[in-house]
Amino acid sequence: MAIEDDVLVIGGGLAGATAALTAAEEGVQVRLVTHKQSTLRHASGLIDVLGYTPAGEGPIVDPFEALADLPEGHPYERVGTEAVREALSFFDEIAGDAYSGGHTASNALVPTHGGTVKPTARYPVSTAAGLASVPEDTLLVGFETLTDFDAPLAASHLEAAGAPFSARGVTLTFPGIVRDDAKINRYAHLLDHEETVQTGAGETSAREALAATVDAHLKDESRVGFPAILGDDHAADVRADLEDALGVDVFEVPMGPPSLPGMRLEDMLYDALGDAGVRVTSGVPVIDYETDGNGAIEHVVVDRHGQEVPYRAEQYVLATGGLVGKGVRSERERVFEPIFDCHIPHAAERYDWFVEDVFGEQPYARFGLVPDRELRPLGEDDDPEFSNLRAVGGVLGGYDYAAEKSGAGVSLATGYVAGERAGTEASR
Amino acid sequence: MAHDTEVLVLGGGSTGCGIARDLAMRGLEVTLVERGNLTDGTTGRMHGLLHSGGRYAVSDQASAIECIEENKILRDIAGHCVEMTGGLFVQRPEDPDEYFQEKLEGCRECNIPARVLSGREARTVEPYLAKDVKRAIQVPDGAIDPFRLCVANAIDAERHGARIETHAEVVDLLRNGDDIYGVEVRHDSGPGKRTHKTPGTTEEITADYVVNATGAWAGQIGAMADLDIEVRPSKGVMTIMNVRQVDTVVNRCRPKGDADIVVPHETTAILGTTDEEVEDPDDYPEEGWEVDMMIDTLSELVPILEEARTIRSFWGVRPLYEPPGRGTKDPTDITRDFFLLDHEDRDGVDGMSSIVGGKFTTYRAMAEQISDHVCEQLGVSASCTTAEESLPGSENLEVLEKGMDDFGLRSPVARRSKQRLGSRSPEVLDTDEANPVICQCEGVTRAEVCDAISQSGSDLNAVRIRTRASMGNCQGGFCCQNMASELHPEYDEETTREALDELFQERWKGERHALWGEQLSQAMLNYALHATTMNRDNDPASAAEPVEYGAFDTGVQ
Amino acid sequence: MSDAEQPTDDHVPGDDEFEPIQVFPEAEEMDLRPGADNCYKCSTCDTNCPVAEVDDEFPGPKFQGPEQWRLKRQDDHDIDDSVMKCSNCMRCDSACPSEVPLSQMHNTARAEYVEENMSKFSREYWRNRMLSNYRQLAPLAATFPRTANFVMGLSVTKWMGEKVLGIAGDRDFPEFAKTTFREWWAKRGGNATSRERAQEARAERGAEVQNEDKRIAYFHGCYSNYNTTEVGKALVRVFEHFGYEVMIPEQACSGTPMFANGMLDDARRAAETNVRELSAAIEDGADIIASCTSCSMSLRQEYPELFDFDGTEDVAENTWEAVEYLRVHEDLEGELEGTQVDDTNFAYHAPCHSRNQGLDGQTMEVMSAIDGVEAEDVGDSCSGISGTYGWKEENYETSMKIGEEMFDHMEDAEATTGLTECPTCSMQMEHGTGYEIQHTLQVLEAALVGTELEEA
């Protein structure tokens, strides 16, 4: 017997989770199957909508205004501006107090761990006190064992970027870290669980020790920025305690992989999935499918370590990600979508997949499926590949999320639209 | 007129650095100028094979004998650059038996230790060899890090008083009638260590004698003084695999042909190569089919290569030279021997010799002969000691190996670090400071990166060739930024930013021949990290227009 | 005569795909460097490692796996000793978005470390050997269960365990059953009885009474045999209820604790027996069913990764976890509808090894079909015991730190009965909360067959 549900979402990142949550709103039974962990853990946790136009103009102040000018085929153009707004509202509801930025249509400029600033539409509350558009002097704190964030360099860089405040950086020793190769979750755990640590002043809790270490270097700055390691499950408490002890605002600078803000976002989404009654199956891949002979998918096949188990639903949503999430794969001769072999347009010659400037207009960054306005992936003949399959997020092509800073927004908007359609159709 | 220096060496490859060291050790005053970084020409673009001589045992026995002799010397004086992997000449069922026999006999004639292994024995040595290999000849091939070797020669030359100027391009030869008395160079960032953002200058450097050791570029240098040097640059492709599928140099045992060698190199394996003449050593086509041929052909020997990840491919140009009148068509038939062209004898122009041809394994012997020649020209009687004196890093290696100190590092990181630094390990790694790993792929710590910076200034590519940082599977995606951070605050933010951009672009360019499968996914992840997360592609600090901060969300509800 | 003239070639031209494992059947000599090709350095594995989060000495799975392997050469044998800190929870496997064979790399490196670097005379070696060969000790204890239970509970024994062997003194040794599962099975009439009961059930269900397809071979593992025999009995009754004839093949330990301790030679011996016996059962038309998710994990994933006996793949392809099998082959949820059980509130913990098999949500879904049952998932954290890991004195504290999140969630849940499929998770759940812990099959048995039914 197949495992049966109404809507089956394949892929457990931001797009897949959004699709599952919106579909569940329609009162149908939804299952999300996710093989490995998603690229949410790579991502900074910021919800970008559009920071630069495809032509590279920006930073854009109002991303929604700029959406109307996007070229045909761009995922935002496919779903329409209104859907993007609705998707953001949907996200705001799920996120509640955990995210800020919903009070305005304008982008925020957030300092990055490389010392630049970047435009984004929603940001975790842990980042809120650090906005680069706020003219408040800033102390950045780095740690000698955390090589990804050099605070003095980032501070000089922010000043070079014209940020309207003075920034200073210090590099300190993180109390309680005993090996130079401790992982970020070790730092977070120390703070989360208030572990007892040894400092020059004797035994104290990790939060107190960190506050004391930083306090000694704080001058007249009104806010202190840390790399994003300030707790995982109890991040808000950690930050509040540090703010109390230091008497200034505390914020996190989003980091590259592995990213705690990304993990917190993931936890938030999976809690929401649980609350919405979405069934989650993880750790196993979808490897194949059967059609009903009439252009619809009858069931997909999940490989559970050798056992091929059929999963059946009325509607399917493909949210397997791009080249990084491995929803798009490549070989020397071709670029392909591995589960349904949906059409991915690409140059035949692999030397045409990229350009010489690393930050140039990179064709490979746009690899992905081409959807119709229903988000059904289209075949080479421009007809939908299957009548009951929609594709969302990174597996879609036609946009360069890295250059545009549009990754999370596209995932939300397409997930929202596809989830709603799939849910509606399945409930018929 | 007193000259700036006694000897001026042009070219910072293995030959140039070897000559600089040799002459400096003989007590001469030496200056070496190099257009880019050390090894930027041919030396940094080879597969790192330390020949046993086996490759030439049939076609060129004089070279073979020279190779085995130098092979032994380098193991002694450059132990920290050499890995004695051993080599195999592997015969597949379709490869000719006669050639196998000739190869074996040739090795014996040249005193190259050679032993025949059955197919099964060969696969015990190298489990990833194809199941159907017939047999193999085992020879003492090795792997050598050309970067480390060159840098060690340069450091030792400096210790003996030499001046080494990288990023100093020769723009003219100074010629007075029939006398060449120096060069004019253009410094990329001023003399001394390279610092980004320092404006360039030009400098005339005069010398009693000039040695043109620019290899494939020797013709271009000669032309500056209207000298005709007929180098015949020949390109060869090399493809770098992400991991070592083999720990032994694996050669295909057949007469000649492209794509017939796999060299384990540090953490990687390098597939080589082709041999095709080119006009301009700086401008020749690099094509995908060449890479495909490496993978497809060598998969016959090591099948796992077919599906394996490659992280880069690069091309090098051999500085082949053929004396006038021989007229060899196929570059593979041009001799690998080297030639000393004394322009006084040859062209009636005094004060300069050019050195062309030759091969990396015998760089020291070449340097010795040229140095002898220079000494003779300058009337200096001093003899060569480069065969006896260990290079910096290779002194007392056995002491280091016996000492079990891992400097607080995890065992494979300690092992690779000590291997790179050799006897300099305690000096560099013994630190009370936090010493986290900066490049995780290659296991390079902060202390080692900082040591390299102290040698080479803000040039992160120079740090790279000294440490291997950013040369692993992420190709710098995750560590370029962290390497650059180590420049600060010694170098300011703008210099650091520029150095980072240069390294990041360099890493990207070399990956273009590997962009499919895992490496394309890696490229996308790197791009996302640098563009999405850091917004380095639209860095307001580098933009022409200032950002209007006040127009954006101020966080106020 | 020169070397070349010797008859040196004994190869058989290959017609099948190249398999390096066949050259070196010894797993500790396997070259897994190519596995590093898949790593793109995202560190997702590290963020999933419950040990790296609490143990300062453990550098995380990325270093232990692809990085250490890539930096390694054939001749290097100094595996970093921190590999022994890995608990083999295998969470990194399902975390990795890029198919790096992390646990295989860890298992192989660990085996090499034990082989090359660990003194065979050390207390640690013998303690690990003893813990991983629980099966060898258990029969002894089971012969005199009362004495064993008494002795194991004595404080002097615990003290001896900790001081002499390095086994955590705070742990309670599992109780041994007075009758082992296999003894019960034999007394009950073995396979013949099961066939009868299956046929009766089929008749009752109006199905074909003779059905060669409805046959399973139960891999009970050590724990259901010697300790929680009620789990094994529940499995038999539930499967018979659906008309399945149960066979109990000869079997050795699945190997899970041996992998975790780098005792690959021991694991290989056990695996050889299991593959042989289970292959024979498959020949007889049976599917292999396990009630312990670590046992099914081992047969499905670790065997094919580490061994190459005839039939290894076949066994992997025909092994199922018990509830998974019923769900796919029967209308389990339909059958459960309208059933009831006495104990209705459960705090469910999905074992790490069940997550790896895509079974994390299964129990919650199945429980929701039983009337009145409220099961609450206590989150995706690791219980912290990971088989033998938490039994070691030096890991006890980290083991309890890892378990903290689960304990908290269990206490927050409105239940005082725990539910899980893994015997050692079950020990940890009981140890941390004092709750009674059940196996999902016991709840299914109560719902479908009833518990009063006590057999001779």
Chains that touch A (3 or more CB pairs under 8 A): B, C
Q: What is the mean pLDDT of residues C414-426?
A: 93
Q: Is residue A108 part of a domain?
A: no
Asked if the model's pLDDT at residue B37 lies above 80, the reply is yes
Question: Of A217, A235, A253, which residue sits at a domain end?
Answer: A253
Q: Half-sphere exposure of B533 toward its Cβ, with a 13 Å CA cutoff?
A: 31
Q: Is residue A359 part of a domain?
A: yes
Whether A122 and A94 share a structural domain:
no
Asked if residue A318 lies in contact with residue A327, where contact means CB atoms within 8 angstroms, the answer is yes
Window 138-197 of B: residues touching C by CB (8 A cutoff) are none
Asked if the model's pLDDT at residue A191 lies above 80, the reply is yes
Whether A371 and A421 share a structural domain:
yes
At residue C152 the predicted structure's pLDDT band, cuts being 50, 70 and 90, is: low
Query: Rounded mean pLDDT of chain C?
Result: 87
Of A177, A185, A282, the CB nearest to C47: A185
Q: Is residue C268 part of a domain?
A: yes
Give the CATH number for residue C423.
3.40.50
Whether C253 and C344 share a structural domain:
no
Share of chain A above pLDDT 70, in %: 100
Query: Rounded mean pLDDT of chain B?
Result: 94
Residues of C in contact with B528 (CB under 8 A): none
pLDDT at C444: 97
Q: A299 - beta bridge partners?
A: A290, A312
Pick the more confident residue, C174 or B275: B275
Q: What is the pLDDT of residues B487-499, one digit of tens each?
A: 999 999 999 999 9
Whether A359 and A230 share a structural domain:
no
pLDDT at C320: 96
Of A108, A362, A365, the CB nearest to B552: A108
Q: Is residue A293 part of a domain?
A: yes
Q: Is residue C218 part of a domain?
A: yes
Of the ranges B421-430, B527-536, C163-172, C294-303, which one carries the lowest mean pLDDT score?
C163-172
Report the distance separating Cα A57 and Cα B225, nearest Å.
50
Whether A175 and A210 share a structural domain:
yes
Whether C230 and C341 share a structural domain:
no
* Per-residue tokens: C364: 């919650």
Question: Of A253, A271, A300, which residue sits at a domain end?
Answer: A253
pLDDT at C157: 66
Whether A94 and A131 share a structural domain:
no
CB atoms within 10 A of CB C152: 16
Q: Is residue A138 part of a domain?
A: yes
Q: What is the pLDDT of residues A219-256, one digit of tens each?
A: 999 999 999 999 999 999 999 999 999 999 999 999 99
Cβ of A305 within 8 Å of Cβ of C357? The answer is: yes
Asked if residue B264 lies in contact with residue B50, where contact means CB atoms within 8 angstroms, the answer is no
Give the CATH number for residue A308.
3.50.50.60
Q: What is the mean pLDDT of residues B98-117?
A: 97
Range of the domain at A316: 3-99+263-427
Report the distance separating Cα B318 and Cα B236, nearest Å.
8
Q: Is residue C304 part of a domain?
A: yes
Q: Is residue C4 part of a domain?
A: no
DSSP-derived secondary structure letter, C302: I
pLDDT at C74: 80
Asked if residue B503 lies in contact with residue B464, where contact means CB atoms within 8 angstroms, the answer is yes
* Per-residue tokens: B454: 């102290």
Whether A246 and A270 share a structural domain:
no
User: What is the number of structural domains in chain A?
Assistant: 2
Whether A226 and A375 share a structural domain:
no
Q: Which of B135, B298, B440, B532 to mutate to test the interface with C (most CBs of C within 10 A)?
A: B440
Asked if residue A366 lies in contact with residue A399, where contact means CB atoms within 8 angstroms, the answer is yes
Whether residue C124 lies within 8 A of chain A, CB to CB, comes out as: no
Q: Half-sphere exposure of B156 toward its Cβ, with a 13 Å CA cutoff?
A: 28
Q: Is residue A209 part of a domain?
A: yes
At residue B275 the predicted structure's pLDDT band, cuts being 50, 70 and 90, is: very high
Whether residue C2 lies within 8 A of chain B, CB to CB, comes out as: yes
Give the CATH number for residue A182.
3.40.50
Whether C112 and C129 share a structural domain:
no
Q: Is residue C3 part of a domain?
A: no
pLDDT at C160: 64
Question: Of C97, C117, C137, which residue sits at a domain end?
Answer: C117
Cβ of C71 within 8 Å of Cβ of B416? The answer is: yes
Q: Is residue C255 part of a domain?
A: yes
Whether C192 and C314 share a structural domain:
yes
Residues of B in contact with A153 (CB under 8 A): 485, 488-489, 493, 496
Q: A32 - beta bridge partners?
A: A9, A280
Question: Of C329, C348, C379, which residue sits at a domain end?
Answer: C329
Whether C249 and C320 share a structural domain:
yes
Asked if the model's pLDDT at residue C16 lies above 70, the reply is no
Whether A226 and A302 share a structural domain:
no
Whether C145 and C191 share a structural domain:
no
Whether A400 and A277 share a structural domain:
yes
Whether residue C34 lies within 8 A of chain A, CB to CB, comes out as: no
Report the distance separating Cα A225 and Cα A250, nearest Å.
6
Q: What is the mean pLDDT of residues B61-68?
A: 94
Range of the domain at C78: 44-117
Q: Is residue A105 part of a domain?
A: no
Asked if the model's pLDDT at residue B25 lies above 80, the reply is yes
Q: What is the mean pLDDT of residues C352-357?
A: 91
At residue C126 the predicted structure's pLDDT band, cuts being 50, 70 and 90, is: confident
Whether C321 and C342 share a structural domain:
no
Asked if residue C146 lies in contact with residue C276, where contact means CB atoms within 8 angstroms, the answer is no
Q: Report whether the peptide linkage leading into residue B214 is cis, meaning its omega lies within 30 degrees of zero.
A: no
Whether A414 and A275 share a structural domain:
yes
User: What is the number of structural domains in chain C?
Assistant: 4
Whether C232 and C285 share a structural domain:
yes
Share of chain A above pLDDT 90, in %: 96
Asked if the model's pLDDT at residue C143 lies above 80, the reply is no
Supply the DSSP string of B254-319, one letter for each residue: SSS-SS-EEEEETTEEEEE---EE-SBTTB----HHHHHHHHHHHTTTSGGGGGS-EEEEEEEEEE
Q: What is the mean pLDDT of residues C386-390?
A: 88
pLDDT at C19: 41
Whether C312 and C407 share a structural domain:
no
pLDDT at B330: 82
Where are the strands (E) in B391-492, listed by range? 437-439, 444-445
Whether A126 and A217 share a structural domain:
yes
Q: Which of C11, C43, C44 to mutate to test the interface with B (most CBs of B within 10 A)?
A: C11
Q: What is the pLDDT of residues A369-388, one digit of tens each?
A: 999 999 999 999 999 999 99
Window 290-309 of B: residues touching A by CB (8 A cutoff) are 292
At residue C12 the predicted structure's pLDDT band, cuts being 50, 70 and 90, is: very low
Q: What is the mean pLDDT of residues A168-196?
A: 96
At residue C4 the predicted structure's pLDDT band, cuts being 50, 70 and 90, is: very low
CA distance, residue A134 to nearest chain C CA (Å): 32
Report the distance separating Cα A250 and Cα A235, nearest Å.
12
Q: Is residue A106 part of a domain?
A: no
Please state the ipTM of this predicted complex. Answer: 0.98
Cβ of C14 within 8 Å of Cβ of B131? The answer is: yes
Q: What is the pLDDT of residues A278-305, one digit of tens each?
A: 999 998 999 999 999 999 999 999 998 8
Residues of B in contact with C78 (CB under 8 A): 411-412, 415
CA A287 to chain centre: 25
Span between the terminal Cα atoms of chain A, in Å: 23
Report the distance separating Cα C33 and Cα C47, nearest Å.
23
pLDDT at C388: 87
Whether C243 and C307 share a structural domain:
yes
Whether residue B304 lies within 8 A of chain C, CB to CB, comes out as: yes
Whether C382 and C398 share a structural domain:
yes
Q: Which of B467, B473, B480 to mutate to test the interface with C (most CBs of C within 10 A)?
A: B473
Q: Is residue C32 part of a domain?
A: no
* Per-residue tokens: B139: 């020879």
Whether residue A348 lies within 8 A of chain B, CB to CB, comes out as: no
Whether C203 and C317 share a structural domain:
yes
CB atoms within 10 A of CB C122: 11
pLDDT at C28: 52
Whether A301 and A403 share a structural domain:
yes
Report the distance separating Cα C406 and Cα C388, nearest Å.
18
Q: Is residue C28 part of a domain?
A: no
Cα dihedral B419, B421, B427, B429, rounded to 10, equals -60
Report the distance separating Cα B34 and Cα B51, nearest Å.
26
Q: What is the mean pLDDT of residues B184-195?
A: 92
